[in-house]
Structure 1
Amino acid sequence: MPVALEHLAHAPSSAPLIDAAGLRPFLDAVPDPRDRRGRRHPLSALLAAAAAAVLAGARSLAAIGEWITDAPRWAQAALGFAPDPLTRQVMVPHPATVRRLLARLDGDALDAAIGAFLSARTARTREPDALRPIAVDGKTVRGSRTRTTVAVSLLSAMAHSGEVLAQRQVADKSNEIP
Structure 2
Amino acid sequence: MPTTSPRSNADHPGPFDLVRRLPWREITLDHRDRTRGHHRLEIRRLKTTAFAHLHYPDARQALQVVWGKDFTSGKLTIERVYLITSLPPGAVTGAQLADWIRGHWKIGNLPHHVRDRTFREEDSKIHADHLPRIMAGLRNLAIGVHRQDGHTNIAAALRHTAHD
Same fold (TM over 0.5): no
TM-score band, normalised by the shorter chain? under 0.3
TM (norm. structure 1) is 0.24
The structure, 1 or 2, with the larger RCO (C-alpha pairs under 8 Å, 6+ apart) is 1
